Amino acid sequence: MRFLDVVHALSDPLRLGIVAALARTPDVPCGGFDLPVGKSASSRHFRILRESGVVRQWDEGTRRLNTLRKSECDRRFPGLLDLAILEGQPFRVDVTHHSAEASNYSR
Protein backbone atom coordinates (compact mmCIF):
# COMPACT_ATOMS: atom_id res chain seq x y z
CA MET A 1 0.00 0.00 0.00
CA ARG A 2 1.67 3.19 -1.21
CA PHE A 3 0.74 6.65 0.01
CA LEU A 4 0.51 8.24 -3.44
CA ASP A 5 -1.76 5.42 -4.68
CA VAL A 6 -4.07 5.82 -1.68
CA VAL A 7 -4.18 9.62 -2.00
CA HIS A 8 -4.92 9.30 -5.72
CA ALA A 9 -7.74 6.83 -5.00
CA LEU A 10 -9.22 9.22 -2.44
CA SER A 11 -8.87 12.30 -4.67
CA ASP A 12 -12.09 11.68 -6.61
CA PRO A 13 -15.43 12.76 -5.07
CA LEU A 14 -17.28 9.66 -6.31
CA ARG A 15 -14.62 7.34 -4.85
CA LEU A 16 -14.81 9.27 -1.56
CA GLY A 17 -18.57 8.67 -1.61
CA ILE A 18 -18.01 4.94 -2.19
CA VAL A 19 -15.58 4.81 0.74
CA ALA A 20 -18.10 6.59 3.00
CA ALA A 21 -20.86 4.21 1.85
CA LEU A 22 -18.68 1.17 2.61
CA ALA A 23 -17.96 2.59 6.06
CA ARG A 24 -21.74 2.66 6.68
CA THR A 25 -22.52 -0.66 4.98
CA PRO A 26 -19.74 -3.22 4.50
CA ASP A 27 -19.76 -6.14 2.04
CA VAL A 28 -21.59 -4.47 -0.84
CA PRO A 29 -21.55 -5.92 -4.36
CA CYS A 30 -20.36 -3.60 -7.13
CA GLY A 31 -23.90 -3.45 -8.49
CA GLY A 32 -25.27 -2.55 -5.06
CA PHE A 33 -24.29 1.12 -5.28
CA ASP A 34 -26.45 3.82 -6.82
CA LEU A 35 -23.72 5.50 -8.86
CA PRO A 36 -24.31 8.35 -11.33
CA VAL A 37 -21.94 6.81 -13.91
CA GLY A 38 -22.05 3.87 -16.32
CA LYS A 39 -20.75 0.38 -15.73
CA SER A 40 -17.38 1.04 -17.38
CA ALA A 41 -16.67 4.10 -15.23
CA SER A 42 -17.88 2.25 -12.11
CA SER A 43 -15.47 -0.60 -12.85
CA ARG A 44 -12.62 1.88 -13.22
CA HIS A 45 -13.42 3.52 -9.87
CA PHE A 46 -13.55 0.16 -8.09
CA ARG A 47 -10.29 -0.93 -9.77
CA ILE A 48 -8.52 2.21 -8.54
CA LEU A 49 -9.82 1.69 -5.00
CA ARG A 50 -8.81 -2.00 -5.07
CA GLU A 51 -5.35 -1.48 -6.56
CA SER A 52 -4.56 1.29 -4.06
CA GLY A 53 -5.39 -1.05 -1.18
CA VAL A 54 -8.31 0.99 0.15
CA VAL A 55 -10.90 -1.67 -0.76
CA ARG A 56 -10.79 -5.46 -0.70
CA GLN A 57 -12.87 -7.28 -3.31
CA TRP A 58 -13.80 -10.94 -3.48
CA ASP A 59 -16.13 -13.00 -5.60
CA GLU A 60 -19.19 -14.69 -4.16
CA GLY A 61 -21.06 -16.58 -6.84
CA THR A 62 -21.69 -14.15 -9.66
CA ARG A 63 -21.13 -11.04 -7.55
CA ARG A 64 -17.97 -9.13 -6.63
CA LEU A 65 -18.23 -7.82 -3.08
CA ASN A 66 -16.40 -4.84 -1.61
CA THR A 67 -15.29 -3.89 1.88
CA LEU A 68 -12.94 -1.28 3.28
CA ARG A 69 -9.48 -2.35 4.36
CA LYS A 70 -9.80 -0.02 7.33
CA SER A 71 -7.49 -1.79 9.76
CA GLU A 72 -4.73 -2.10 7.15
CA CYS A 73 -5.12 1.56 6.13
CA ASP A 74 -5.16 2.70 9.77
CA ARG A 75 -1.99 0.73 10.51
CA ARG A 76 -0.16 2.21 7.53
CA PHE A 77 -1.66 5.74 7.51
CA PRO A 78 -3.32 6.47 10.89
CA GLY A 79 -6.38 8.70 10.59
CA LEU A 80 -6.32 9.02 6.79
CA LEU A 81 -9.29 6.76 6.12
CA ASP A 82 -11.30 8.36 8.96
CA LEU A 83 -10.73 11.74 7.31
CA ALA A 84 -11.70 10.32 3.89
CA ILE A 85 -14.91 8.86 5.33
CA LEU A 86 -15.80 12.21 6.90
CA GLU A 87 -14.98 14.13 3.72
CA GLY A 88 -16.94 11.61 1.62
CA GLN A 89 -20.22 12.11 3.49
CA PRO A 90 -21.36 15.10 1.36
CA PHE A 91 -20.86 12.99 -1.81
CA ARG A 92 -23.70 10.72 -0.78
CA VAL A 93 -23.54 7.34 -2.53
CA ASP A 94 -26.52 5.19 -1.62
CA VAL A 95 -26.33 1.44 -1.22
CA THR A 96 -29.27 -0.18 -2.99
CA HIS A 97 -28.54 -3.63 -1.59
CA HIS A 98 -25.82 -5.51 0.25
CA SER A 99 -25.02 -9.10 1.04
CA ALA A 100 -26.35 -10.27 4.39
CA GLU A 101 -24.60 -13.62 3.85
CA ALA A 102 -21.30 -11.91 3.16
CA SER A 103 -21.50 -10.04 6.47
CA ASN A 104 -20.88 -13.35 8.20
CA TYR A 105 -17.99 -14.22 5.89
CA SER A 106 -14.67 -14.18 7.72
CA ARG A 107 -11.81 -12.72 5.79
Summarize pLDDT for 51-78 with one digit per residue, the tens: 999 999 999 999 999 999 999 999 999 9
With respect to residue 104, please indicate whether it lies within any of the assigned structural domains: no
With respect to residue 103, please indicate whether it lies within any of the assigned structural domains: no
Which pLDDT score is estimated for 98? Answer: 66
With respect to residue 101, please indicate whether it lies within any of the assigned structural domains: no
Q: Label residue 9 exposed, middle or buried (CB < 10 Å: 0-12, 13-18, 19+).
A: buried
CA distance 18 to 59: 18
Q: For residues 98 and 6, which has the higher predicted lDDT (pLDDT)?
A: 6
With respect to residue 105, please indicate whether it lies within any of the assigned structural domains: no
Q: Are 9 and 15 in contact (CB under 8 A)?
A: yes
Across 27-53, average pLDDT: 94
Q: Please give the residue range of the domain that contains residue 39.
A: 3-96
CATH number at residue 24: 1.10.10.10
Which pLDDT score is estimated for 46? Answer: 97
Overall number of domains in the chain: 1
What pTM did the predictor assign? Answer: 0.88
